[in-house]
Amino acid sequence: MVTWPTTSRVSARPGTAAVLAGSAAACAIALHTAVNLRFLRTPSSDAPSLDESVTVLIPARDEEAHIETTVRSVLAQDGVPGLSVIVLDDGSTDGTAVILDRLAESDARLSVVHAPDAPPPAGWLGKPWACMRLADQAVGSVLVFVDADVELRSVVTTMRQGGFTLVAPYPFQESQGWLERLVQPLVTWSWAALVPLRWAESSARPSLSAANGQFIAVDADAYRAIDGHGSVRADVIEDVALMRAMKSSGRHTATVDGSTIATCRMYDGANAVVDGYAKSLWSAFNGPIGSIAVNTLLVGIYVVPAVAAITARDSRTRRIGLLGYAAGVASRTLVARRTGERALPDALLQPASIAAFTALNVISWQRHVRGSNTWKGRAVVAG
């Protein structure tokens, strides 16, 4: 007697294949994460005193809640005798200007540039325009762009000793609210797990770039040679674009673990998380096709196996899904432990984190298509 496979068995095969592929990819990424972290540079906190001038550049727009802490942390640096700090009050409508002027009266190393609340010139976005104006005022041989509480000596030493023209130390990401804890760990995890760091340091491939505008140190001459932020004037994700421009010019850059030398709370509350990511994610993956491809891959690797571990009809598929889920948790946990972020229970929600990230991508594209993406009162559209 011939026994034909049932419909459920036939239809289960493609599903099992998808779970197997996702779980295999998750395991491979977990292994890569472990190897990557062995090569991850961490600036030393006992770096020697610097013998060159460093200018710290801080763009600020409506930052009265954080600006004093940031500026004071920079001015309190040890071992940076040639330190100067320039803050651009970029048309703030809150108490930012008053706070900055008060701080400048008590420390001659701090200069404040007040700019009117006006849109940037045609072809410029607000953040690159603010950074370029700051750089035009700088005199140091090293320029450091920051939004965070930082320690400077170690990152400049790392940059010089490694022969890099730009170093991007990722700060410790402070997250408090539920959506912050769900999404913010992906900021560090994404590059620590997915970018081959040692290859990225020696390669001129612009695609191997990971930077965070919260903290970037750059050689002043190299910065000006590529026209600084003028070369990325219309880029929404200008920090990564700046590293890519450096690589395209044949210079070496490095992404490093800055969790022990810098701290930043990127977004304060769920609404800020949504608005912050919505303004930029649409531009992150080279257009809608790239965005669909990347998000589909992430869902396939981290969400599908987890769902299958619970809902698959056959035990084999459930076991494969459980393995993929465990690999995703392991990758997140490895990065969290290295950078001092919460490991457990937060890493257990890796599938939910990826799902939330995908949802933020959808919101970002919706707002971009409607032309409603704004940040700090300005449209996120290059003129």
pLDDT in tens, 339-356: 999 999 999 999 999 999
In this predicted structure, what is the pLDDT of residue 381?
A: 63
Q: What is the pTM of this model?
A: 0.88
For residue 49, being part of any structural domain is answered with no
For residue 272, being part of any structural domain is answered with no
Q: Do residue 251 and residue 205 come from a single domain?
A: yes
Rounded CA separation 363/383 (Å): 22
For residue 140, being part of any structural domain is answered with yes
β-pair partners for 216 = 145
For residue 206, being part of any structural domain is answered with yes
In this predicted structure, what is the pLDDT of residue 6?
A: 46
In this predicted structure, what is the pLDDT of residue 110?
A: 96
For residue 274, being part of any structural domain is answered with no
Locate all alpha helices (DSSP H) within 138-237, ordered by sequence: 152-162, 178-183, 185-194, 197-202, 220-225
**Last residue in a domain, options 267, 302, 317:** 267
Q: Do residue 292 and residue 238 come from a single domain?
A: no
- CA-closest candidate to residue 378, choices 145, 133, 125, 130: 125
For residue 275, being part of any structural domain is answered with no
Rounded CA separation 366/369 (Å): 5
Q: Do residue 85 and residue 32 come from a single domain?
A: no
Give the residue numbers spanning the domain of 183.
Answer: 54-267
**Last residue in a domain, options 211, 235, 267:** 267
* φ/ψ bin of 24: left (φ > 0), alpha (ψ from -120 to 50), beta (otherwise): alpha
Instruction: Name residue, tokens 């076991």.
Output: 319
Locate all alpha helices (DSSP H) within 285-381, ordered by sequence: 288-298, 304-311, 315-339, 350-370
CB half-sphere exposure, 249, CA atoms < 13 A: 21
Angle, alpha carbons 286-289-291 (nearest 5°): 65
Strands 166-173 and 215-219: antiparallel
Sign of CA dihedral 219, 224, 229, 231: negative
Q: Do residue 301 and residue 232 come from a single domain?
A: no
For residues 41 and 116, the answer to whether their CB atoms sit within 8 Å is no
For residue 136, being part of any structural domain is answered with yes
In this predicted structure, what is the pLDDT of residue 267?
A: 86
Residue 228 burial (10 A CB sphere; 0-12, 13-18, 19+): buried
Return the DSSP state at 61. S
For residues 335 and 189, the answer to whether their CB atoms sit within 8 Å is yes
Q: Do residue 243 and residue 111 come from a single domain?
A: yes
In this predicted structure, what is the pLDDT of residue 19?
A: 93
Q: Do residue 111 and residue 215 come from a single domain?
A: yes
pLDDT, tens digit, 9 for 90 and up, residues 228-242: 999 999 998 999 999
Q: What's the CATH number where 79 sits?
A: 3.90.550.10
Q: Do residue 296 and residue 212 come from a single domain?
A: no
Q: Do residue 313 and residue 250 come from a single domain?
A: no
In this predicted structure, what is the pLDDT of residue 147?
A: 84
For residue 334, being part of any structural domain is answered with yes
Q: Do residue 254 and residue 307 come from a single domain?
A: no
- Counting the structural domains of the chain, the total is 2
**Last residue in a domain, options 233, 267, 301:** 267
Give the type of residue at 352: A
Q: Do residue 81 and residue 205 come from a single domain?
A: yes
Q: Do residue 307 and residue 247 come from a single domain?
A: no
For residues 383 and 120, the answer to whether their CB atoms sit within 8 Å is yes
Q: Do residue 90 and residue 67 come from a single domain?
A: yes
Which residue numbers in the chain have pLDDT < 70?
1-14, 148-149, 375-379, 381-383
